C-alpha cells in the first residue's frame, strides 16, 4: 500500500514528507474525506473506540479503489483482565457503469485474544491465547445516484462482511479449537469405557443363548 506508511487520510499529508507520494485527485479526495467521516461513525457504533482510516486512489481505467482499515485493541489493565486486538483490512474496487456501480471487496480480519487465569495473577505465563484470521470476498452491483452513494454502498458491503465474519469466527472457529482440545485428551477414563463395552458385549452374548 503506497500511501500507508505515514500518510494520514485526515490531513492528506505524508509524515515524514514524501516528495512524489501519490495523492488522490481533488474529486476523489473529497470523497475520501467523507468516507473517513462516515467510517468514523461506523467505528464508534461498533467498536466504541479504536481507530479507522480510509484511503482512496484512482485507477487507470477510470474507476477507483480504496482500503478501509479498522483497529481496536484491548489492553489488560491488570494481569487478570482479558486482552486482545481486532484488525480489519477491507480492500475494494469501484467501477461506475452509468447509474450503477460494480464493486469488488476483499476483506481480512485478524483477531487475537488472550485470557489469563484469574487464580494465578502473578504468573505471566499462565494464559490461553487464540489468534485468528479470516478472509472473505464478494462482488456486487449497486445503484449510484451521486458520488456519496459509493460510500453508502461500500459501507453496507463492509458492514455485512464484518458481521458475517465475526459470527463465523465466534461460532465456528472458536468452537472448533475447543473441540480439538477435548479430542486430544479425554476427561473420562478410556480404559474404563472399553472394559464396560466389553462387559456389555459379554452380557449380550449370554442373553442371546
Partner 1 sequence: MRAFVWQLGKLGFVWQFITLAGLHSNGYISDLFAKQFATEGMKAYVELIQRREREIGCDVLTHQKWSGADYVDNLMKTVTGGVSSTAAMGKGVTEAQFAQSLSKKGSSSSSVNRLFAVVRNLHCLFNAPRIPPTPSEAIAMDAEERIQAASRFLLQSPPGEINDVLNDVRNIISDDDTLQAGILPALRDYNLAQFITAEVPGHQHQCIVSEAARVPKVAKAPKVVSPKVPDEVPVAAEPSPEGESAGDVEGEGAAEVEGEKPVVEEGAGETDDVVVEAEAEAEAEAEVEVQEDIPVPAEEPAAPAPIPVVEETESSENDVDRFWDPRTRTSFRFDHLTLEASDPEPVEPWEESEPFRVALETSALTYLSAHFHDGVISVFSTQDNLERFTVQLVANKYNPSNFWSGRWRSEYIVDLTNRKLEGRILVNVHYYEQGNVQLATTHTVSMELPPTITSANATGSASKILALIEKEEARYQMSLNEAYQEMSDKTFKGLRRALPLTRAKLDWDRVLGYKLGAELSANKGGFGAA
Residue among 176, 204, 207, 208 that touches partner 1 (CB under 8 A) = 176
- Distance from C-alpha of 21 to C-alpha of 72, rounded to nearest angstrom: 28
CB of 33 to partner 1, least distance (A): 11
On whether the CB atoms of residues 91 and 104 are closer than 8 A, the answer is no
Q: Does 94 bind partner 1 (CB under 8 A)?
A: no
Q: Does 151 bind partner 1 (CB under 8 A)?
A: yes
| x/- map, 49-68, partner 1, by CB under 8 A | --------------------
Q: Which residues between 108 and 127 bind partner 1 (CB under 8 A)?
A: 108, 110-113, 115, 117, 120, 123, 125-127
Residue 54 CB burial class (10 angstroms; 0-12, 13-18, ≥19): buried
Q: Does 133 bind partner 1 (CB under 8 A)?
A: yes
On whether the CB atoms of residues 9 and 63 are closer than 8 A, the answer is no
CB of 13 to partner 1, least distance (A): 21
- State which H helix or E strand residue 93 sits in: strand 83-97
Q: Does 90 bind partner 1 (CB under 8 A)?
A: no
Please identify, using beta-carbon distances, which residue of 185 and 209 lies nearer to partner 1: 185
End-to-end CA distance of the chain: 78
Within 10 Å of residue 66's Cβ, how many Cβ atoms? 22
Residue among 184, 204, 206, 208 that touches partner 1 (CB under 8 A) = 184
Q: Does 106 bind partner 1 (CB under 8 A)?
A: no
DSSP per position, 17-58: --TT-----HHHHHHHHHHHHHHHHHHHHHHSS-EEEEEEEE
Q: Does 139 bind partner 1 (CB under 8 A)?
A: no
Please identify, using beta-carbon distances, which residue of 55 and 86 lies nearer to partner 1: 86
Amino acid at each position: 500500500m503506497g500511501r500507508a506508511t505515514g500518510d494520514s487520510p485526515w490531513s492528506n499529508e505524508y509524515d515524514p514528507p514524501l516528495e512524489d507520494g501519490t495523492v488522490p485527485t481533488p474529486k476523489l479526495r473529497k470523497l475520501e474525506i467523507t468516507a473517513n467521516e462516515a467510517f468514523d461513525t461506523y467505528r464508534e457504533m461498533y467498536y466504541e473506540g479504536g481507530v479507522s482510516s480510509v484511503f482512496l486512489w484512482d485507477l487507470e481505467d477510470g474507476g477507483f479503489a480504496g482500503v478501509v482499515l479498522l483497529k481496536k485493541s484491548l489492553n489488560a489493565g491488570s494481569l487478570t483482565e482479558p486482552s486482545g486486538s481486532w484488525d480489519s483490512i477491507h480492500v475494494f474496487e469501484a467501477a461506475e457503469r452509468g447509474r450503477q456501480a460494480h464493486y469488488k471487496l476483499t476483506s481480512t480480519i485478524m483477531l487475537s485474544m488472550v485470557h489469563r487465569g484469574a487464580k494465578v495473577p502473578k504468573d505471566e505465563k499462565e494464559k490461553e491465547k487464540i489468534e485468528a484470521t479470516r478472509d472473505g470476498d464478494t462482488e456486487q452491483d449497486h445503484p449510484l445516484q451521486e458520488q456519496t452513494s459509493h460510500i453508502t454502498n461500500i459501507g453496507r458491503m463492509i458492514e455485512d462482511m464484518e458481521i458475517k465474519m465475526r459470527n463465523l469466527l465466534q461460532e465456528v472457529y472458536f468452537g472448533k479449537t475447543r473441540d480439538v482440545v477435548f479430542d486430544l485428551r479425554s476427561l473420562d477414563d478410556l480404559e474404563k469405557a472399553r472394559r464396560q463395552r466389553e462387559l456389555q458385549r459379554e452380557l449380550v452374548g449370554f442373553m442371546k443363548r
